[in-house]
């Protein structure tokens, strides 16, 4: 017997009580020592698998333990073992298959039961939190909850909120998200979330929070029908209308409804086509969403979502108004955390054409809700006619040299295009050139270097392309193929420093890219430069003084407001000041040493707004010469260039219509002048059928 054991115990006199025989008491000097000594002994026996009466099978691993001790700490184990009490009388050991637990989490909890402590990593805290919740071990559960509350940041608050099983952690995460909402929206965790985009017609009577809760209820109903619908819900904008106290999809609106219009008819045709394609190509994939603090597998989803497997909670976390009629919200719906982009439209139909005091035909499909409140009144000058494109198009390449502007490829309502149009500043009109590209290319960009137009990647309507071609503007006879890209890409952006061609960002399939490539026309080779800090497609891009400026763009789930700058001499990217508004599919152009970032979409609606950046002072300007200005027509996927000291904004998509019209910036009047000739901005019926 060791001296250590001899010093643990002591015999002492019990306080004498009258008429009672004096007695002695044998006890530990430290009142806690008895329990500690017992647990040490039990832990040693557990390690040696001695007198263990239960074996827990977890993820193929065996964990030996004593039922009585586990039951003292966990009501889950107590109920499990009491249920089989009669059977245990005839067996020395009981085997239990424990599903829904991670082996390491359960192993650590058993160690805690025997030892009162254990070492763990930060990544294990959420897993222990969930395991303690299932095992109903209040002490561990509460300790993990308190720690997670203390560790909340904008980078983990979303996954922590979804993880939360107790009111304290839910409240703490909710408050953090609300208090840091804009910062949370910019985090990688948020950018990975699925986004559902919706437009509510004739919704002016709804208060925003009521509207948002109606939207959440509608989404929950769709997910209740079939969990695989999440991918379909995220693929397109949904047009909803209020009928009674619930929202309904305009895809099922009767043509006798007072809100029915051609726009809804087109929407119904689109949704019918989508359903037919979905039923043909439906497939269930296993998706794993991982954050720094939690990884959960869900076999029912084919879209990105943070999912809580233990609850079907549906709740609005927070919403914010992004402009007069648009809102962005974060919500938990059927145990999935999602981004909601909601636009409240006063009417789905095209309003009456405003009266103009000029005797020319002019069609306009935009109401006051689409226009920029800071824009000047639409200016139509009958002494100056601005030619419009011959073919309405969106997401095309634009470039200019001398007194000529070229637009290349893009797509319209029916197909991706291979045609090229040329604008002559002196004649002030467009013509279709007789030498189309070798490939149809939509979602494409272009640039000019050494008197050649370069076009790379894009989509032919079926797949992204890795081919590239150029047109010599001196010979003007045919397009020539150049060295291929290493991978296919669409929605990338191009620029030139007059010596090299640069291709940045874009997407392939459902993956956005941060890649940056440089093409050397002299030896017909591509080389890889440093990647951007963030993956993004549909960016605005400008070269100026050894730097390439990248503005906005989008991930798969949301639009960005951030700016990145590549210094070519050092091959290093740095973050620049962010724009006021998130925008994808915008145009960017250098004009009088200022960068104009024009139009685009904020993910909810096409924009008329313009932001102006000074690359010399590295700051955004509130206005130019004290005047705030915007386009007459909202546009996304537009072309923008400078020709003969004027900014030209060309084509694009307004959210409803593919555009032919152009706008020209009048610096003296500080206004945008809009083309008005007969073939202006509306696709006629023959265009729709092409």
Residue 307, pLDDT > 80, answer: no
Which tokens is 292 given?
A: 């720094």
Residues 648-659 pLDDT 10s: 999 999 877 889
Quick check: 393 and 411 in contact, CB under 8 A?
Answer: yes
pLDDT grade, residue 305 (50/70/90)? very low
Query: Looking at the predicted structure, is the pLDDT value of residue 503 above 90?
Result: yes
pLDDT given at position 200: 86
Q: Give CA–CA dist 433/425, Å, rounded.
A: 16
- The structure tokens listed for 430 are 């467009």
Sign for the pseudo-dihedral over CA of 529, 534, 537, 541? negative
pLDDT bucket at 685, cuts 50 / 70 / 90: very low
Greater confidence (325 vs 633) lies with 633
**pLDDT of res. 285:** 37
Look at 164 and 671; give whichever has higher pLDDT.
164
Q: Residue 224: which pLDDT band, with cuts at 50, 70 and 90?
A: confident
Comparing CA positions, the residue from 654, 588, 651 lying closest to residue 394 is 651
Burial (CB count <10 Å: 0-12, 13-18, 19+), residue 38: exposed
pLDDT at 671 over 60: yes
| pLDDT tens-digit readout, 117-163 | 888 888 899 999 999 998 998 988 999 999 999 999 999 999 999 89
User: For residues 595 and 237, what is the distance between their CA atoms, to the nearest angstrom?
Assistant: 31
**pLDDT tier for residue 419 given thresholds of 50, 70 and 90:** very high
pLDDT greater at residue 47 or residue 434: 434
Tokens of 266: 């087109």
Q: Lowest-confidence range among 25-34, 260-269, 458-467, 469-478?
A: 25-34
> 229-233, 448-452, 572-576: which has the minimum mean pLDDT?
229-233
Q: Which segments within 346-477 are labelled E, that is strand?
A: 397-401, 404-408, 420-424, 429-432, 445-449, 452-456, 468-472
| Residue tagged 């909120």 (tokens) | 161
Higher-pLDDT residue of 643, 11: 643
Residue intervals of the chain classified under CATH 3.30.710.10 are 3-119
Class of domain 3-119: alpha beta
Q: pLDDT, tens digit, for every residue of 150-199?
A: 999 999 999 999 899 999 999 999 999 999 998 888 787 887 788 888 88
| Helix extents (H) in 206-284 | 208-225, 229-235, 262-281
What one-character DSSP code corresponds to residue 394? Answer: B
Question: 347 falls in which pLDDT band (50, 70, 90)?
Answer: very low
**Locus of tokens 């009258």:** 18
What pLDDT is stored for residue 275 in this prediction?
63
Residue 556 pLDDT:
74
What's the mean per-residue pLDDT of the chain?
80
Please tell me the least confidently modeled range out of 114-118, 292-296, 531-535, 619-623: 292-296
Find which of 108-122, 362-376, 584-598 is predicted with most confidence, using mean pLDDT: 584-598
pLDDT score of 371 more than 80: no
The CATH number that domain 397-685 falls under is 2.120.10.80
Q: Cα–Cα–Cα angle for 36, 39, 40, nearest 5°? A: 85
CA 324 distance to own-chain centroid = 22
- Beta pairing, strands 61-65 & 572-576: unpaired
CA–CA separation, 538 and 588 (whole Å): 11
What does the pLDDT read at residue 686? 32
Q: How far apart are CA 264 and CA 100, in angstroms?
A: 46
Let me know: does 55 contact 95? Beta carbons within 8 Å: yes
As annotated, the residues of the chain forming the CATH 2.120.10.80 domain(s) are 397-685
- Whether the predicted pLDDT of 416 surpasses 60: yes
**Does pLDDT of 303 surpass 60?**
no
pLDDT for 160 equals 92
pTM score: 0.51
**pLDDT value of position 266:** 73
What are 272-300's pLDDT values in tens digits?
766 665 555 444 332 323 322 333 222 22
- The pLDDT > 90 percentage for the chain reads 39
Inform me whether the pLDDT recorded for 560 exceeds 50.
Answer: yes
Q: Residues 593-608: pLDDT tens digits?
A: 999 999 999 877 888 8
The percent of residues in the chain predicted with pLDDT above 70, rounded, is 77
253 falls in which pLDDT band (50, 70, 90)? confident
Segment 225-254 shows an average pLDDT of 79
pLDDT tier at 86, thresholds 50, 70, 90: low
Asked whether the predicted pLDDT for residue 363 surpasses 60, the reply is no
How much is the pLDDT for 572?
A: 96
**Predicted pLDDT at 40:** 79
* Segment among 557-571, 615-629, 642-656, 669-683 with least mean pLDDT: 669-683
pLDDT band, residue 375 (cuts 50/70/90): very low
pLDDT at 246: 87
Q: What is the pLDDT of residue 553?
A: 94
Helix (H) or strand (E) holding 189: helix 188-191
């Amino acid at each position: 017997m060791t001296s250590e054991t001899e010093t643990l115990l002591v015999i002492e006199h019990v306080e004498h009580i009258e008429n009672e025989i004096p007695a002695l008491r044998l006890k530990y000097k430290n009142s806690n020592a008895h329990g500690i000594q017992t647990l040490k002994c039990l832990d040693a026996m557990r390690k040696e698998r001695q007198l263990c009466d239960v074996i827990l099978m977890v993820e193929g691993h065996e964990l030996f333990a004593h039922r009585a001790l586990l039951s003292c700490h966990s009501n889950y184990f107590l109920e499990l073992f009491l249920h089989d009490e009669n059977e245990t009388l005839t067996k020395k050991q009981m085997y239990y298959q424990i599903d829904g637990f991670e082996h390491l989490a359960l192993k650590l909890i058993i160690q805690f039961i025997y030892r009162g402590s254990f070492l763990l990593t930060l990544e294990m805290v959420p897993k222990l939190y969930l395991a303690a919740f299932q095992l109903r071990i209040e002490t561990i559960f509460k300790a993990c909850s308190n720690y997670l509350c203390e560790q909340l940041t904008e980078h983990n608050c979303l996954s922590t909120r979804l993880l939360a099983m107790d009111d304290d952690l839910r409240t703490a995460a909710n408050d953090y998200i609300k208090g840091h909402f804009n910062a949370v929206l910019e985090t990688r965790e948020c950018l990975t979330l699925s986004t559902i985009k919706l437009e509510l017609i004739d919704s002016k009577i709804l208060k925003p929070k009521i509207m948002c809760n109606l939207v959440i209820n509608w989404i929950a109903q769709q997910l209740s029908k079939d969990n695989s619908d999440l991918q379909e819900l995220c693929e397109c904008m949904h047009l909803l209308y209020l009928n009674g106290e619930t929202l309904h999809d305009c895809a099922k609106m009767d043509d006798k409804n007072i809100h029915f219009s051609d726009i809804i008819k087109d929407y119904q045709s689109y949704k019918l086509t989508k359903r037919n394609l979905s039923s043909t190509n439906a497939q269930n994939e296993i998706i794993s969403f991982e954050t720094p603090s939690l990884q959960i597998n869900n076999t029912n989803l084919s879209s990105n979502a943070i999912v809580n497997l233990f609850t079907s909670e549906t709740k609005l976390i927070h919403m914010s108004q992004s402009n007069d009629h648009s809102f962005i919200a974060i919500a938990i719906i059927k145990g999935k955390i999602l981004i909601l982009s909601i636009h409240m439209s006063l009417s789905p139909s095209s309003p009456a054409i405003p009266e103009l005091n000029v005797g020319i035909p002019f069609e306009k499909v935009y109401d006051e809700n689409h226009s920029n409140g800071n824009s000047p009144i639409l200016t139509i000058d009958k002494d100056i006619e601005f030619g419009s494109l011959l073919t309405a198009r969106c997401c095309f390449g634009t470039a200019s040299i001398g007194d000529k502007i070229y637009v290349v490829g893009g797509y319209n309502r029916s197909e991706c295009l291979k045609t090229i149009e040329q604008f002559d500043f002196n004649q002030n009109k467009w013509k279709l050139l007789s030498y189309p590209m070798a490939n149809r290319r939509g979602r494409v960009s272009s640039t000019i270097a050494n008197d050649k137009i370069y076009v790379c990647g894009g989509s032919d309507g079926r797949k992204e392309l890795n081919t590239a071609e150029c047109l010599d503007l001196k010979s003007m006879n045919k397009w020539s193929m150049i060295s291929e890209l290493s991978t296919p890409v669409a929605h990338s952006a191009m620029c030139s420093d007059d010596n090299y061609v640069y291709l940045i960002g874009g997407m392939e399939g459902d993956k956005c890219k941060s890649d940056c490539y440089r093409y050397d026309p002299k030896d017909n080779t591509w080389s890889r430069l440093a990647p951007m800090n963030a993956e993004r497609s549909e960016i605005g891009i400008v070269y100026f003084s050894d730097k390439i400026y990248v503005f906005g763009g989008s991930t798969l789930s949301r639009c960005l407001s951030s700016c990145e700058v590549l210094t070519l001499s050092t091959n290093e990217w740095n973050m620049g000041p962010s724009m006021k508004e998130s925008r994808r599919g915008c145009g960017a152009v250098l004009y009088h040493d200022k960068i104009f970032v024009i139009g685009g979409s904020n993910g909810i609606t096409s924009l008329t707004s313009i932001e102006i950046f000074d690359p010399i002072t590295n700051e955004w300007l509130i206005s130019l010469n004290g005047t705030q200005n915007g386009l007459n027509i909202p546009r996304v996927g537009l072309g923008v260039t400078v020709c003969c000291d004027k900014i030209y904004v060309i084509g694009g998509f307004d959210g409803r219509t593919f555009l032919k019209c152009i706008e020209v910036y009048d610096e003296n009047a500080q206004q945008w002048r809009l083309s008005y000739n007969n073939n202006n901005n509306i696709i006629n019926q023959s265009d729709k059928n092409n």
